[in-house]
Amino acid sequence: MTISILEFLDRPGRRLPVHAVLGGSDAEMDGVRTIGEIQIDGEAFAQLSTLYVDADIAAHIVQPCRRCLTSIDILFTLHESFTFPIPPQAEAIDVRPYVIELVFSAHDANVLCRPDCRGLCAICGEDLNRHPEHRHTAGDDGRRKLGDFLEPWSTK
Ligand SMILES: [Zn+2]
Ligand SMILES: [Zn+2]
């Protein structure tokens, strides 16, 4: 993900549109979250070997719900102003490491699939969103409970 800077160097101080896309194939992970496509749209100008960028950043992120671990697709946006030093003779600047870092640090790591997510059963890991009636009772393994229920019928 690079921004070509020749145009900016030709016209120092002049604000020009900047647009860059980090493709989904370049997906990056931080252990839990995966970043898909990132788009940068805004303006930039060069002055005294510094590139000033003022842009909207839109990132597609996939990460698990904090409670139930279901994968959630999130479109995360932020507006950011940042600067890059322009190395001598450079024709482009690779903004990718910076932008990925920015997105990961600005984005909330603790998201829920929905505000009232019930999470997983602490004992067996059952998804309580799908089985809200799921319960364990002390000393009960499920099988015996079914037996107790059937007993009155079998003794008749
Ligand atoms: Zn959830
Ligand atoms: Zn359970």
Output the DSSP codes for 34-88.
EEEEEEEEEEEEEETTEEEEEEEEEEEEEEE-TTT--EEEEEEEEEEEEEEE--T
pLDDT of residue 110: 85
pLDDT of residue 103: 86
Q: Which residue has the tokens 């990718």?
A: 96
Residues above pLDDT 90, as percent of the chain: 53
24 against 38, higher pLDDT = 38
Compute the distance from residue 139 Cα to the ligand 2 centre, in Å.
13
Compute the distance from residue 110 Cα to the ligand 1 centre, in Å.
11
- Which residues does residue 77 pair with via DSSP β-bridges, in sequence order? 58
pLDDT of residue 154: 46
The strand pair at 34-47 and 28-29 is best described as antiparallel
Closest ligand to C-alpha of residue 121 is 2
Mean pLDDT of 33-52: 92
pLDDT of residue 27: 60
Mean pLDDT of 93-107: 86
Closest ligand to C-alpha of residue 119 is 1
- Please state the φ and ψ torsions of residue 139, each to the nearest 5 degrees: 70, 10
The lowest-confidence range among 97-106, 109-118, 143-152 is 143-152
Closest ligand to C-alpha of residue 66 is 1
The conformation of residue 3, written as its DSSP 8-state character, comes to E
pLDDT of residue 52: 96
pLDDT of residue 102: 87
pLDDT of residue 32: 76
Residues 6+ apart with CB under 8 A from 67: 112, 113, 117, 118, 119, 120
Closest ligand to C-alpha of residue 137 is 2
Fill in the amino acid letter for 139.
G
Compute the distance from residue 131 Cα to the ligand 1 centre, in Å.
13
Compute the distance from residue 135 Cα to the ligand 2 centre, in Å.
6
Compute the distance from residue 126 Cα to the ligand 1 centre, in Å.
12
Mean pLDDT of 6-10: 92
Compute the distance from residue 144 Cα to the ligand 1 centre, in Å.
31
Closest ligand to C-alpha of residue 130 is 1
- Which residues does residue 63 pair with via DSSP β-bridges, in sequence order? 72
**Across the chain, what does the average pLDDT equal?**
85
Compute the distance from residue 121 Cα to the ligand 2 centre, in Å.
5
The strand pair at 34-47 and 50-64 is best described as antiparallel
pTM of structure = 0.71
